[in-house]
Structure 1
Amino acid sequence: MSTANLIRLVALAMIWGTSFMLMRIASPVFGPFLTTFGRASLGALAIYLFARSRGIEFEWKKNSKVYLIIGLGNTAVPFSLFAWSALHVPSAYMATMNSLAPIFTAVFGFIMLGEGLSWTRIGAFMMGLFGVAVLVGIGPIDVTPWVIAGVLAGMGAAVCYGFAATYTRMYAKEIPALATATGSQFAAALALLPFAAPSIPHAFSHGTAQALLAVGILGVVCTGIAYAMFFQLISTEGASKAVTVTFLIPATASIWAAIFLGEAITHGIVIGIAIVLCATAISLGLIKIPGLSRKAA
């Protein structure tokens, strides 16, 4: 990887790492749906302006169904789940759940594309779940039903990402990546509007400058600018290298949250994150385990 792209990778991890902290700030004020609607709307506008500057054609009518399904699976549902999770669990927990996305992508590759699952990937899946259990069990907060629900919501978001990634491979191969990113963000914003609308009066009366700034950064920087950076990495370095940003996000999320929200970084967090990231690396083939590469299904 070139030095310039390595810098982009680290910058992207730092940007996406802030998103969990920002949701912890915005969601209690605006609620999960309005927070996500604001993020998707601002992100859509930012990506649209960037894509138009590159001369991208969107073919809205032809690609509307693809945009909608990817928008729901990659933005509307997972962003809402994380925004709700932010009400109950620390940023490090959410970032760790996010790291499970490549593992669930492999599972959906098996379900939707008929790709074989090796014993290595099955083991990685089980290891990832064990890492989550360790994180929750010895993490810095008490295990309550709401904490468990918040963790499950984060895992649900990772499941959505896995589905969306596989669906994109199946049906969006002929659509420019930036067009897919833009169209899906607009579709997500439209889908979220009915759920976000009831919270708008509350936002006007109880919104704070800090929460508004958090939503603005989530939309323009963490979604719009970050997506543009990510697709540029994919185009120059390939998807397999670009996806390694996954390994940096839990650390950056934990650091940002510790600095600005005072969230503790404990041994439980470090151990849980390490186990999940090892599982993800195994699933991506970055760590080889001799004798376990044969197909299980």
Structure 2
Amino acid sequence: MSTTNLIRLLSLALIWGTSFMLMRIASPVFGPFLTTFGRASLGALAIYLYARHRRIEFQWKRNAKTYLIIGLGNTAIPFSLFAWSALHVPSAYMATMNSLAPIFTAVFGFIMLGERLSWLRICAFILGLFGVAVLVGIGPVDVTPWVIGGVLAGMGAAVGYGFAATYTRMYAKEIPALATATGSQFAAALALLPLAAPAIPHAITHGTGTALLAVAILGVVCTGIAYAMFFQLISTEGASKAITVTFLIPATASIWAWLLLNEPITHGIIAGILIVLCATAMSLGLIKLPKRTQKIA
């Protein structure tokens, strides 16, 4: 990887690492749906301006269904789940759940594309669940129904990412990546509007400058700019290298939350993160078993 792209990768990890902390700031004030709507709307505008600068063709009418399904699976549903999860669990928990996305992508590849699962990926799935159990069981917060719900919501977001990634491979191969990113963000914002609208009066009367700034950064930087950086990384280094940003996000999220929200970094958090990241590495094929044990019938 070139020095420029390495800097881009590290910057992307730092940016996406802040998103969980920012949701912890914005969601209690604006609610999960309005927070997500603001993020998707501002992200869509930022990506649109960049895509227009690159002279990308969107073909809105032809690709409307694809944009909608990807927008729901990759933005509206997972962003909302994480925003709700932010009400109940620390940033490190959410970032760790986010790291499960490649594992669920492999599962959906099996379900939707008929790709054969290796024993390695089955072990990765089991190990990932074990890592989540370790994180919750010996993490810094008490295990309550709300905490369990927050963790399950984060896992649900990872499931959404896995589905969207697989659907994109199936139906968006001929659409420019920036067009897919832009169209899906606009579709997500439109889908979220009816759910976000009831929270607007409360946000007007009780909103804070800090929460508003958090949503603005979530949308413009963590979504718009970050997506543009990510697709540049994919185009120059390939998806397999770009996805390694997954390994850096839990650490950066934990550090940001520790510095700015005073969230503790405990042995339980470190153990859970390491186990989940090991599972993710197995799912991505960075850790391999002998060939004769790789495939199952």
Normalised-by-shorter TM-score class: over 0.9
1:203 lines up with 2:192 in the alignment = no
* Structure-2 residue corresponding to 1:99: 99
* Structure-1 residue corresponding to 2:177: 177
Letter in 1 for 2:90: P
* Structure-1 residue corresponding to 2:27: 27
* Structure-2 residue corresponding to 1:282: 282
* Structure-2 residue corresponding to 1:163: 163
Q: Which runs of 4+ in 1 moved over 4 A?
A: none
Deviations for 1:108-159, whole angstroms, at most 9, x for unmatched residues?
0000000000111000000000000000000000000000000000000000
Letter in 1 for 2:14: M
TM-fit CA distance, 1:247: 0.1
Where does structure 1 lack aligned partners over 5 or more consecutive residues?
none
Deviations for 1:204-243, whole angstroms, at most 9, x for unmatched residues?
0000000000000000000000000000000000000000
* Structure-2 residue corresponding to 1:242: 242
TM-fit CA distance, 1:292: 6.6
Which secondary structure state, in structure 2, belongs to the residue aligned with residue 47 of structure 1?
helix
Q: How many pairs align?
A: 297
* Structure-2 residue corresponding to 1:140: 140
Letter in 1 for 2:23: M
* Structure-2 residue corresponding to 1:186: 186
The answer to whether the Cα contact below 8 Å between 1:119 and 1:292 also exists between their aligned partners in 2 is: no
Letter in 2 for 1:153: A
Which secondary structure state, in structure 2, belongs to the residue aligned with residue 66 of structure 1?
helix
Q: What is the TM-score of this pair, normalised by structure 2? A: 0.99
Q: Return the alpha-carbon distance in structure 2 between the equivalents of residues 56 and 24 of structure 1.
A: 34
RMSD: 0.7
Structure 2 counterparts to residues 15-54 of structure 1, below 5 A: 15-54=15-54
Which secondary structure state, in structure 1, belongs to the residue aligned with residue 256 of structure 2?
helix
Choose 45-54 or 279-288, whichever is displaced more. 279-288
Identity across the alignment (%): 86
TM-fit CA distance, 1:57: 0.5
TM-fit CA distance, 1:289: 2.3
Where does structure 2 lack aligned partners over 5 or more consecutive residues?
none
Q: Return the alpha-carbon distance in structure 2 between the equivalents of residues 220 and 30 of structure 1.
A: 17
Letter in 1 for 2:171: Y
Letter in 2 for 1:202: H
The answer to whether the Cα contact below 8 Å between 1:85 and 1:151 also exists between their aligned partners in 2 is: yes
TM-fit CA distance, 1:44: 0.1
The answer to whether the Cα contact below 8 Å between 1:32 and 1:83 also exists between their aligned partners in 2 is: yes
